[in-house]
Chains A and B, each alone.
Chain A
Amino acid sequence: MTFHAKVELSLWLQRTRDDLKMYHKEKSIQIKSSASALYNNLSVLRIAPRNLTYFSVVHANMVNMVSASWDGLNYSHRQLQSKEPNVTTSSSLIMQAAWCVLPYREILVLTSQKGIQMYESDGSIMVYWHALDTPETPTAQAVFARGIAAVRDKYICVGISSGSVLVFDVPSKGSNITLSEVLEEHKESITDMASECSGSLECIADLVSADDSGNLSVWKSGEDFQLLNKIPGFDMSCSSVKLWKGTVVAGYGTGQIRLYEAITGIIHAEINAHARWIYSLDIAPFSGLLLSAAEDSLVRVWHLTVTPETNSVEIVHMYNECVTDTQICGAKFCDGDGYAFAVTGYDLSEIIRYTQA
């Protein structure tokens, strides 16, 4: 489809009647407790061989996990608590929970004020625990882990409030997970991290990390991770980031989305996307659909086209969904094409789902 045709289509879709909307609301999934106001507070894992999708949503010191069968008939719930190494210390709030997909296994990672927990994908067994250096008495600077990404074949990267990024080496099975490297580049708390999700092996950049001042670091993975580029922020927190076909998509507290070429830092596009702080971005890697969600109650769907040969990047707005009276904290596509997406909101005890008409 030519660019102009896409623009026409998007304008038309915006004017259409209700029954011709791009997405329709499906039955929500109830969760055991409400979602907390945390960045990227929804993770989705599609398990095609078993016709199941897992969802996870953080509530304070707990993670609500739901396993939903595709026929919509079976739901099973599990709640995971943050690990409290000893009873006298105060309870540990969880900052984020996300599934990391590696070639031979999927790991559920929980990041909290006390450390990093890793579980088998169904949450049944904890396979690894890494404790953060928490001071005896609280300091002005908060201590926590936040920002989770699976990189290439064997790495899980997790961000820390100090700005460090921990790189864990994960074997294809078992619990012999080791801390392989600590990347010290950021000076502000890590907010989010993303790995290249197009599946293309040609992309040089493997990982992008974002921090509270909006600074982005672009990395190449390996025995020693290599810093490829730094993209400066504008003193505004980047709360959510994605990397697709060598393009960084970054969402900011100002409600802006920016698209950069990862290796060079060249800005491709700037979108005045939301009226409030962006909390979540997601990309459907097969179709190039982009999902953005913010405190302003809006979820927006965009279409991204990246043509590496001509070094051109185009973005078109496709669809809006208003989740009335809700500050959205998580929004993810449920499949690689973007056929369906799910949304969580602060104080809401349900996962709202939408599918294409």
Chain B
Amino acid sequence: MSSRTLPLLFINLGGEMLYILDQRLRAQNIPADKAKKVMNDIITTMFNKKFLEELFKPQELYSKKALRTVFDRLAHASIMRLNQASMDKLYDLMTMAFKYQVLLCPRPKDILLVSFNHMDAIKDFVKETPSILSQVDETYKQLIEMYTPLSSGEFQLIRQTLLIFFQDMHIRVSIFLKDKVQNSNGRFVLPTSGPVPHGTQIPGLIRMFSCSGEEVKKLQFRNGGNYTSALREGSFEMFGERVIKLGTNMYSVSRPVETHLSGTSKNSAQQKSVNTTPNPLAKEELNMLARLMGGLEVQKTSSVDNGFRVNLFATDEEEEEALISRPDEFSYDVINIQATKLSGGCTEQARY
């Protein structure tokens, strides 16, 4: 549908990934210098100029499989290693968090404010490193240039495209369940209270007019909710208060990250990944992916000593158990792409 969805999907998912990794690095007491290196390396890779150039080109959204591959590569852009189970869990959390944010956005245009919340946090992560900071600033400018002129209808199209991507995902996230923003069946709570979106009036008034335009009748009706007036509009510039809280960091060392895959509702049959049928468009997608990955330089681990593993679970045993017991319908098939030689055009070998 909308050909302008991928940058927003990537930046917001990337932002969530950084929140989670930051929390895990601190929870596992990884030395500050190593943790900082990981965050800097990932952010540098995320905002690589060539990579972003490809990303911002008009294109259809990637499949879940393809996008997962990109994030796999990104998560391994530094000395940090993640086992399969942890990577799966990381991706579950990232996607459910952004799904929540997209769904709860008061107006479709507010997805841009959510993106700025992520960007603001990323900027804060790298505020001491000017070179990366300038990359981030450059990305702000690209976002502003591309998205601020769009109409409300075009933003809704972007939102609808994102919602198709997230369709049928109901993974339960501990932090959401605890905060009562997600039900035990995995569906998000949609309150019928609180401030109305900017530009919307509180429901309840009918005004009727005469042919000359004079108001002749005013009626009230019960709106069935508990709404309040809209808040002021957030800033769509490089700086400024965003007002919307969606997209800000909800994790902290004391609020661990957990997901539940077992005991999902009987609709789990519908929670299959979209691409289970043989995929004739895979070739085209692989080419797109290869071009994109060409811009993602993967750090070679210079010495084995420098590298370390991050666990998204409380213990190694739990992580192993999670890998074994992960239901089939939740498996992410990852595409293996080896960029062999980059001279002139890219020569890639794809296998999956």
Residues of chain A touching chain B, judged by Cβ–Cβ distance below 8 Å, are: 7, 10, 14, 33-34, 36-38, 59-60, 87-91, 93, 95, 113, 137-142, 144, 188-189, 191, 211-213, 235-237, 239, 253-256, 266-277, 296-298, 311, 313-317, 320, 322, 324-327, 346-347, 349
**CB of B314 within 8 Å of the partner chain:** no
Nearest residue in B to A295 (C-beta to C-beta)? B190
Residue of B nearest to A257 (CB): B206
CA distance A71 to B128 in the complex (A): 70
Q: Given A270-B207, A276-B106, A298-B224, are A90 and B190 also a contact pair (CB < 8 Å)?
A: no
Contact A325 B183 (CB under 8 A): yes
Q: Counting CB contacts under 8 A, is B270 at the interface?
A: yes
Q: How far is the CA of A189 from the CA of B170 in the complex (A)?
A: 32
By a CB distance below 8 angstroms, the chain A residues around B159 are 37
CB A227 to nearest CB in B, in angstroms, measures: 22
Given contacts A37-B160, A349-B270, contact A237 B152 (CB under 8 A): yes
B267 near A349: Cβ-Cβ < 8 Å: yes
**A268 / chain B contacts, CB cutoff of 8 Å:** 208-209
Q: Which residue of A lies closest to B162 (CB)?
A: A37
Chain B interface size range? 35 or more
A308 to chain B, nearest CB (A): 13
B256 proximal to A (CB < 8 A): no
Partner of B200, one of A269, A275, A349: A275
Stretch at the interface among B31-39, B231-239, B279-287: B279-287
A to B contact number (C-beta, < 8 Å)? 177
What separation, in Å, do the CA atoms of A176 and B183 have in the docked complex?
Answer: 52
Q: Across the interface, which residues of B come within 8 angstroms of A7, CB to CB?
A: 219
Contact A88 B284 (CB under 8 A): yes
A14 and B221: CB pair below 8 A? yes
Asked if B200 and A91 make an inter-chain contact with CB atoms under 8 angstroms apart, the answer reads: no
Interface status of B351 (Cβ within 8 A of chain A): no
Q: Give every chain A residue within 8 A of B227 (Cβ-Cβ).
A: 275
A235 touches B151 (CB 8 A): yes
Q: Return chain B residues, CB-CB under 8 Å to A346.
A: 103, 163, 167
**Set B151, B203, B209, B285: member contacting A213, Cβ < 8 A:** B151
Assembly CA distance A46 to B156 (angstroms): 31
Asked if B27 lies at the interface with its beta carbon under 8 angstroms from chain A, I say no
Q: Say yes or no: A325 contacts B188, CB within 8 Å.
A: yes
**Interface set, chain B 201-220, CB cutoff 8 A to A:** 201-209, 211, 213, 217, 219
Q: A36-B167, A140-B58 are in contact. Are A91 and B281 (CB under 8 A)?
A: yes
Contact (Cβ within 8 A) B3 A139? yes
Q: Please provide the chain B residues from 172 to 219 with a CB less than 8 Å away from any CB of chain A in the complex.
A: 183, 187-190, 192, 196-197, 199-209, 211, 213, 217, 219
What's the nearest-Cβ distance from chain A to residue B332, in Å?
19
Which 9 pairs between the two chains have the least Cβ-Cβ distance? Answer: A212-B153, A317-B221, A237-B153, A272-B201, A320-B224, A37-B163, A138-B3, A87-B280, A138-B58
- The residues in B between 148 and 168 inclusive whose CB is less than 8 angstroms from any CB of A are 151-154, 156-157, 159-160, 163-164, 167-168
Given the interface pairs A268-B208, A347-B168, the reply to whether A236 lies near B152 with Cβ below 8 Å is: yes
The minimal Cβ–Cβ distance linking B279 to chain A, given in whole angstroms, is 9
Residues of A within 8 A of B60 (CB): 90, 138
Q: Which residues 64-117 in B have Cβ within 8 Å of A in the complex? A: 103, 106-108
Residues in B with CB closer than 8 Å to A38 are 160
Least CB distance, B102 to chain A, in whole angstroms: 10
Residue numbers in A under 8 Å from B223 (CB-CB): 275, 298, 320
Inter-chain CA distance A236–B227, complex, in Å, is: 21
Contact of A36 among B107, B163, B188 (CB under 8 A): B163
Judge whether B190 and A297 touch: CB under 8 Å. Answer: yes
A139 touches B58 (CB 8 A): yes
- Please indicate the chain A residues that have their CB under 8 angstroms from the CB of B219 in the complex: 7, 316-317
Contacts of A36 in B (CB 8 A): 160, 163-164, 167
Q: What are 27 A-B contacts defined by CB distance under 8 Å?
A: A36-B160, A87-B281, A88-B281, A138-B58, A140-B4, A142-B2, A142-B3, A213-B151, A236-B199, A253-B152, A253-B153, A266-B213, A268-B208, A269-B208, A271-B206, A272-B204, A272-B205, A275-B200, A275-B223, A276-B200, A277-B107, A296-B225, A298-B203, A298-B224, A314-B217, A325-B188, A347-B168
Q: How far is the CA of A325 from the CA of B180 in the complex (A)?
A: 12
Smallest distance from the beta carbon of A9 to chain B beta carbons, Å?
A: 13
User: A117 vs B280: C-alpha distance in the bound complex, in angstroms?
Assistant: 22
B4, B213, B270: which has the most chain A beta carbons within 10 Å?
A: B270
Partner of B207, one of A14, A269, A326: A269
Kindly list chain A residues whose C-beta atoms are within 8 Å of the C-beta of B208.
268-269, 313-315
B201 surroundings in chain A (CB, below 8 A)? 254-256, 272
Q: Which residue of chain B lies nearest to A33 when distances are taken between CB atoms in the complex?
A: B270
Q: Which residues of B contact A325 (CB under 8 A)?
A: 183, 187-190
B300 in the interface (beta carbon within 8 A): no
**Extra 19 A-B pairs, beta carbons < 8 Å, given A60-B164, A275-B197:** A10-B221, A59-B167, A87-B280, A88-B283, A90-B60, A188-B151, A211-B153, A237-B152, A253-B107, A255-B200, A272-B200, A273-B203, A274-B203, A277-B108, A277-B156, A315-B208, A316-B206, A325-B188, A346-B167
Give the distance in Å from the alpha carbon of A220 to the alpha carbon of B70 in the complex. 52
Closest to B106 in A: A276
| A318 (CB) vs chain B CBs: closest residue | B221
Give the one of B2, B160, B200, B281 with max A CB within 10 A: B200
Flag if B1 contacts A113 (CB, 8 Å): yes
Whether the pair A89, B281 counts as a contact (CB closer than 8 A) is yes
CA distance A36 to B165 in the complex (A): 10
Name A10's closest neighbour in chain B (CB-CB): B221
Distance from A139 Cβ to chain B, minimum over Cβ atoms (Å): 6
A244, chain B: closest CB distance, angstroms: 17
User: How many angstroms from the CA of A340 to the CA of B58 in the assembled complex?
Assistant: 43
Any chain A CB within 8 A of the CB of B144? no
B 1-27 to A, binary, CB cutoff 8 A, 1 in contact else 0: 111100000000000000000000000
Asked if B160 and A255 sit within 8 Å, CB to CB, the answer is: no
- B103 x A327 contact (CB < 8 A): yes
The reply to whether A315 and B206 form a contact with Cβ atoms under 8 Å apart is yes
